[in-house]
Amino acid sequence: TAYLAVSILHDAGVPRTALQLLPGGGDIGAALTADPRVGGVAFTGSTATALRIRASMAAHCTPGTPLIAETGGLNAMIVDSTALPEQAVQSIIESAFQSAGQRCSALRCLYIQEDIAESFTQMLIGAMQALRLGVPWDLSTDVGPVIDETARAGIAAHIARARQEGRVLAELGTPQDGTFIAPTLIKLSGIDQLEHEIFGPVLHMVTFKSHELDAVIDAINATGYGLTFGLHTRIDDRVQHVSDRIEAGNIYINRNQIGAIVGSQPFGGEGLSGTGPKAGGPMYLTRFAAPDRQTHTAQWDAPSPTLPPLPQDAPAGIHSETLPGPTGESNRLSTLPRAALLCAGPGADAAAAQARAVTALGGHAVAATGRITPQDLTDGPGYGGVLWWGDEATGRAIEQALAARKGPIIPLIPGAPDAARVRAERHVCVDTTASGGNAALLGAAT
């Protein structure tokens, strides 16, 4: 499909010198991202690979070269006791098993309120048993193979460990030929048991008590991933509460959590799930332009004794807009300030100008009070970005220190920041036809 798309673009007049398709097994990508001539990288894949690309660019590319990374997620869904079970089961089947679970947005960990867990699990297993594995060319096929034998073996080993521990609740039969993994349901005590993303048709299930909802949200946020999230409930206040607290780029209410539509549901995560801006969103295209670069020759009089801390209790400053979508669906895109950006100068005047640029875009800034030591950034505060308008050697040292960090990718900003560097995006999609019944009475009873 990539070859066909590129061929059509060439036929339409896009110069071959401007667009090439270079399939490879990682070797070509590694070479390209280590080439100092590269002016920017857009990557979709695993978090681990994105971090390797980040380190390679820090070593070879001009400091501040843009990286757009859309990576994976330990995507969760919460189903409470008021949810419509048939609708929730359909959403779960679609989210976990379509495309054999090979979507970065796919559901990985399902939280079911224990009051309905027994009957709901029976219904879910029944729906799983109706799935048909086979060749994807056939319209009757629901679940095809995973991409290759390496992927199959890794997923199979994960299932085998769970089976040995008695945690496999249901699994289908697997065809004799091909790299198939049967849809599988595995019991967990919490999402923290998932050490990494299982990229296939494997769903993990956890039960929770009604009073544990906030603890569940905390556990999901604590993974550090924030790509997609799903919620099934008929209580409006709960929708608002969970949407406000969950840290994910795309939040889906009373529907599946895959298949984002450009223009209606701009797509992309936060934390370990990506750098932003959202694909298909209003701030995306400008990231493909050459970054603004400013050079200040001023120097700090003395080194900064410590890196400035992140401010506590910074105002939220959330801005929202309604996006177009089909009848019966609400789509709202919000922006909120990222973690405070470090304004590193050089010099007090440059740091002050950087802070003004950040706050003018609705963000939070902290200014260095002297010359920073780049190596301190490897373990320092989790800034939303670092602005440096000085010499390239120091910029590269800052870039490499940031690339050595564990956790989310923190960018070096070599000039005036764009809005997407200062503010993060979150999208909430609600199936407004799904309330069913008297939700006000349900809310009063829980």
CATH code where residue 153 lies = 3.40.309.10
Q: For the segment 257-286, what is each residue's pLDDT rounded down to a tens digit?
A: 999 998 899 999 999 999 999 999 999 999
Using pLDDT thresholds of 50, 70 and 90, give the confidence band for residue 183. very high
pLDDT at 435: 63
Residue range(s) defining the domain that contains residue 238: 76-267+427-445
> Could you tell me if residue 383 is inside a domain?
no
pTM of the model: 0.94
pLDDT at 373: 96
- Number of structural domains found in the chain: 1
Res. 300: pLDDT tops 60: yes
Res. 443: pLDDT tops 90: no
Res. 142: pLDDT tops 90: yes
Would you put residue 235 in left (φ > 0), alpha (ψ -120 to 50) or beta? beta
Among 224, 208, 243, which Cα is nearest to 111's?
208
Res. 76: pLDDT tops 50: yes
> Could you tell me if residue 414 is inside a domain?
no
Using pLDDT thresholds of 50, 70 and 90, give the confidence band for residue 315. low
> Could you tell me if residue 418 is inside a domain?
no
* Residues with active-site annotation: 70, 104
> Could you tell me if residue 3 is inside a domain?
no
> Could you tell me if residue 375 is inside a domain?
no
Q: For the segment 316-366, what is each residue's pLDDT rounded down to a tens digit?
A: 789 999 999 989 999 999 999 999 999 999 999 999 999 999 999 999 999
> Could you tell me if residue 159 is inside a domain?
yes
How far is Cα 77 from Cα 68, in angstroms, rounded to an integer?
Answer: 26
> Could you tell me if residue 14 is inside a domain?
no
> Could you tell me if residue 156 is inside a domain?
yes
Mean pLDDT of 120-144: 96
pLDDT at 292: 95
DSSP string of 51-68? HHHHHHHHHHSPTT--EE
Mean pLDDT of the chain: 95
How far is Cα 43 from Cα 219, in angstroms, rounded to an integer?
Answer: 28
